[in-house]
């Protein structure tokens, strides 16, 4: 509405970029909840900073400026003659009328703030459950129980065995996994094993032994964590991926094809003479072989992701595992 004759145009807050920064901070918080806590901290800092600057600009726009008073208004008429006798201080009118109380917080500002506040509460009630269900799986525990593969005596020294098992018995067959297990003998009084994952480090296809399988010597057993199948194999040529031709040696090192690193490995434990498997971890390269192999462990990464070298900086932060 245009102001009428003699009316002043209402003073509106100037355009500002602070809301854009505030929105960027909110986005950083939401993305950080999935990626990493440092991103959440950065988003929270941006939100607080730009939110404060935005609120300051909005509130300062409604503060009214004091209006000066002319000398004519002060005396109520034209200026007095210079030769008139002075009026005693206890007589006459005040030199300036008393200031009228200004409207520091207009009603329209209150209604606007109340509407925005109520809208924010409603939006939070509707949005928080959705966001919670979306990001809750990220923070759920992902530790799987140790997998019991049976007595150590089931694994002949120096021989690879294809072991299939349930990585999470509560999930049933959908959690069935395959690992290539080799008994490296006893080192410093403890059994040593090489346990390779069959997930290709290129796109995750199942790799296969480049050699014969001895199905007639297959052993099926039922352990405390479910059914386990053990099939001896002779991967003299290492392991190969049937999808895109990735090749690995018997230590899991990449020898040809598109994979970017070695095969992942399983943690293993000896519990009362029985072999148990833990979580997987990623490996860049294996130096040496068997019990003397030197392995640098990395956090479990997805297929196709570099975990060492300068290429790793090209990949985004991984969600918590």
Pick the more confident residue, 287 or 135.
287
Query: How many CB atoms are closer than 10 A to CB 2?
Result: 5
Tens-digit pLDDT profile for residues 212-255: 999 898 888 888 888 899 999 999 889 999 999 999 999 999 99
- Can you give the pLDDT at residue 296? 84
Tens-digit pLDDT profile for residues 135-153: 665 555 555 678 889 899 8
Cα-only R_g, the chain: 38
Three-state SS at 20 = helix
- Can you give the pLDDT at residue 25? 83
Give 28: exposed, middle or buried? Use CB within 10 Å, 0-12, 13-18, 19+.
buried
From 208, 203, 206, select the one nearest 160 (Cα to Cα): 208
Tens-digit pLDDT profile for residues 60-86: 765 544 444 444 444 444 444 456 677
pLDDT at 174 over 60: yes
pTM: 0.58
Q: Are strands 176-187 and 190-197 parallel, antiparallel or unpaired?
A: antiparallel
The least confident of 47-51, 98-102, 178-182 is 98-102
Give the DSSP H or E segment for 25.
Answer: helix 18-35
Q: How confident is the model at residue 173 (pLDDT cuts 50, 70, 90)?
A: confident
Which residue is it, tokens 């969600």?
319
User: Cα(195)–Cα(161) distance, rounded to whole angstroms?
Assistant: 10
Give CATH for domain 147-303: 2.102.10.10
Pick the more confident residue, 166 or 63.
166
Which residue is it, tokens 């190969």?
240
- Can you give the pLDDT at residue 304? 84
């Amino acid at each position: 509405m245009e102001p009428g004759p003699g009316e002043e145009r209402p003073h509106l807050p100037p355009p500002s970029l602070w809301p854009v920064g505030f929105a960027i901070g909110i986005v950083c918080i939401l993305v950080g909840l999935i990626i990493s806590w440092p991103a959440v901290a950065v988003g929270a800092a941006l939100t607080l900073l730009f939110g404060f600057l935005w609120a300051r600009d909005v509130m300062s726009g409604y503060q009214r400026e004091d209006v000066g008073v002319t000398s004519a208004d002060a005396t109520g008429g034209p200026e007095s003659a210079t030769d008139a006798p002075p009026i005693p201080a206890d007589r006459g009118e005040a030199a300036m009328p008393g200031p009228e109380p200004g409207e520091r917080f207009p009603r329209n500002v209150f209604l606007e703030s109340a509407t925005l506040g109520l809208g924010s509460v409603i939006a939070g009630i509707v949005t928080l459950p959705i966001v919670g269900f979306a990001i809750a799986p990220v923070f759920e525990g992902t530790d799987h129980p140790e997998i019991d593969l049976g007595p150590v005596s089931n694994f002949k020294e120096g021989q690879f065995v294809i072991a299939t098992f349930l990585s999470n018995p509560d999930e049933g067959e959908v959690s069935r996994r395959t690992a290539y297990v080799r008994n490296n003998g006893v080192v410093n009084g403890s059994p040593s094993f090489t346990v390779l994952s069959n997930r290709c480090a290129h796109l995750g296809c199942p790799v296969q032994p480049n050699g014969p399988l001895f199905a007639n010597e297959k052993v099926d057993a039922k352990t405390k964590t479910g059914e386990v199948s053990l099939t001896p194999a002779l991967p003299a040529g290492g392991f190969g991926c049937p999808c895109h031709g990735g090749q690995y040696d018997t230590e899991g090192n990449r020898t040809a094809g598109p994979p970017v690193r070695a095969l992942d490995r399983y943690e293993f434990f000896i519990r009362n003479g029985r072999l148990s498997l833990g979580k997987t971890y990623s490996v860049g390269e294996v130096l040496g072989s068997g019990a003397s192999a030197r392995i640098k462990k990395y956090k479990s990464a997805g297929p196709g992701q570099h975990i060492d070298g300068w290429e790793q900086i090209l990949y985004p932060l991984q969600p918590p595992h």
